Amino acid sequence: MSETTDGTDLPESNVFARPWPLDLGLPGFTAVDHADIEPAIRAGMAAERREWEAIATNEAEPTIANTVNALERSGELLERALTVLDALTSATDCPDLDELEEVLAPELAAHSDAYHLDSRLYERFKTLDDLVAAAPDGEETRDADGAVIDAETARLIRLTVEEFERNGVGLDESETDALKEINARVNALKMRFSILVTEAMHAAEVSNVTVTPALATTRPHAARLSLLDRSMNRGLGGHDGAGDTRDIVLELAVLRAERAALLGYPHHAALVAAESAARTTDAVREMLARLTPPAMANARRDAQIYAARMENDPETQEGETFGPADWPFYEAAERKDRFGVDDEVLAPYLELWSVVVNGVFYAANRLYGITFHEREDLAEHMYAPGVRVWEVHDGEGPEAPVLGLFVGDYYARAGKSGGAWMDSLVTGSTLTGRRPVVINCCNIEQPTSGPALLTWDEVITCFHEFGHALHALLSETRYPSAFGTAVPRDVVEFPSQLNEKWALHPEVLSSYARHVDSGGPLPTDLAKQLRGQGSFGQGYATTEYLGAALLDQAWHTLAPGEVPGDIREVEEFEHRALAAAGVNDALVPPRYRTTYFSHIFAGGYSAAYYAYIWSEVMDADAIAWFTTDGAIGGDLGLNRKAGDTFRREFLARGDSRDASTSYRAFTGRDPSILPLLKRRGLT
């Protein structure tokens, strides 16, 4: 037997019995036997329970060392094992591990409850919180050891107290039992939904969104209708009932509503809002209501233009009329006529690795001074060929301090979840001394031969996901739970959306947009037209996004008795909810329909899909800052002074201080919504 660092015995043959030997704790995926994962997770849960118990039963007065730091250091084995399980199930085809996730889901929920419902742990944090609250203004607060409770620690303590209270620590025994049952069932249902949606996406040969990019190049109209039909009917069961997710949706909606009621909230959305930057569902509702009418009006205006194009298209047959299946096709044609650009024209200039290395990395170097050194030796330990690893340094040359590792998994493969995401394979913090290891996952088709040429949307996705990576790589917080992207959902998208800006910056674009064969730059007139599109296409893009955000709110502002009781009511509920909000879903379907809306029924965005547009208020305002206050000599903000300001005041802070405080420290003002309205053509 071999003893792990947390005292848990696992067989020496189990790869999780010891910390990863690779640099910065990069998981050694090729060394993992699937059979090792389940015992490691169970051992990890047991070890963390013992760590919690030691903190809870400590007879000494609560201090930073014996309570805050001890809790932040707990769970190392469990985190390592769960990180590997999550990475493999989301990025590879492994039905055995998908099944394991389903089996473990209720137990992991119970494990989480063991922490959140432990009144002894709560009381220790409450004691420290009361100590801070009782201190006279301007005076230092010290714990029983004499250690100063600084602002970062005081914030963590307050947020932890709120988390305990929000998760039911004060409930009576019967309510606690009910809550535990709900949490276990919710976790199991989320896992099942995720598996079914991924299977349906691959079976239908579509992307994860409703209106798939392939529609832009599909002919004729009938073929587009067939493709959209396959996409929109995912999760409805088809003729044999396979893959039907509607029963899961309805049960999740009921369970979340019941849990909210148990915890004293009118609905699930109110519970989620309580830990967000928005704070209330009224604030969310007001923003969505402000944006929806002008977005829908713009979509209707554009639809008239595209309908006329379709009517004049010689391939249009008698009786065929413009609809959602035709939108990408005729929008692309209109874009090419107006601006001379489309994916076919741009593709030879958008080779994947040039976009990543000469675009994404280049912009990060110009803004933050960081450099990237490929580690092929580490890539050999990843779970699939084609995954690349870079060591990220804070400065030029191999002697510059190492910030962390960046892993790029850009290619689609069987079993991989749809869309794109960032995740942490190792969470950094100054308390633990660990540096972050972050991964970006995309779904770019890998050609059988030759280079991978991207669409413009895929270029933006690469920049977007790396914005999340920067949030982690440049974080300097003390506590793991406040590190990097561990901020409220309606804040976390801000750095990623802001990073999209640099894809079109003239200097960055000229660096990566090089012809795959000749190496020549993107023609000047083409680059100018690409940058000059303004709010073109935003009527549809904004409305389809808002449709999904509105659906999310509709499902999660229901009381238990208001949830439909029959799966046949799901589609009608969708239609009524969107119509009530002013969205014509027959013209602009939501980006995700209920039955394949993984963000909210499998991921962490339930009642929080609005977060993208909430964050975009900061994003659009921050771009205005970069191009004015942050610009030097007409460089539009692409300089170290502006980058270092953003890094120091926002990216480095994680959740160690309130996001609004960090934003004001960064720009000197609160964000205005006007830049967003102008960008989206909603003024």
Lay out the sheet containing 388-393: strands in order across. 371-374, 388-393, 402-411, 437-444, 421-426
Structural contact between residues 325 and 614, judged by C-beta atoms closer than 8 angstroms:
no
- Selection from 193, 61, 79 nearest residue 128 by Cα: 61
How many whole angstroms separate alpha carbon 24 and alpha carbon 163? 30
Q: Two tokens at 627?
A: 């191009």
Q: In one letter, which amino acid is 287? A: M
Q: Whole-angstrom distance between the N-terminal and C-terminal Cα of the chain?
A: 67
Residue with tokens 């000197």: 668
Residue with tokens 């004729």: 220
Instruction: Please name the helix (run of DSSP H) or strand (run of DSSP E) that holds residue 373, with its range, or none.
Output: strand 371-374
DSSP letter, residue 417: P
Chain-centre distance of CA 506, in angstroms? Answer: 28
Structural contact between residues 594 and 551, judged by C-beta atoms closer than 8 angstroms:
yes
Q: Two tokens at 104?
A: 């473990």
How many whole angstroms separate alpha carbon 346 and alpha carbon 245? 38
Structural contact between residues 559 and 261, judged by C-beta atoms closer than 8 angstroms:
yes
Buried b vs exposed e over 280-317: b needs ≥16 C-beta within 10 Å?
ebebbbebbeebbebbbebbeebbeebeebbeebeebe
How many whole angstroms separate alpha carbon 319 and alpha carbon 330? 18
Residue 385: CB partners within 8 Å, gap ≥ 6? Answer: none
Structural contact between residues 257 and 607, judged by C-beta atoms closer than 8 angstroms:
no
Structural contact between residues 475 and 383, judged by C-beta atoms closer than 8 angstroms:
no
Buried b vs exposed e over 546-582: b needs ≥16 C-beta within 10 Å?
bbbbbbbbbbbbbeeeebbeebeebeebbeebbeebb
How many whole angstroms separate alpha carbon 625 and alpha carbon 667? 7
- Selection from 571, 553, 554, 548 nearest residue 235 by Cα: 571
Structural contact between residues 156 and 77, judged by C-beta atoms closer than 8 angstroms:
no
Residue with tokens 């569902």: 281
CA angle (410, 416, 417) in 5-degree steps: 100
Structural contact between residues 387 and 408, judged by C-beta atoms closer than 8 angstroms:
yes
Strands 437-444 and 402-411: parallel
Residues pairing with 405 in the sheet: 391, 437
Catalytic residues: 465
Structural contact between residues 444 and 458, judged by C-beta atoms closer than 8 angstroms:
yes
Helix axes 640-649, 361-368, angle to 10 degrees: 90
Give one DSSP letter per residue of 319-360, joined into a string: T----GGGHHHHHHHHHHHHHS--HHHHGGG-BHHHHIIIII
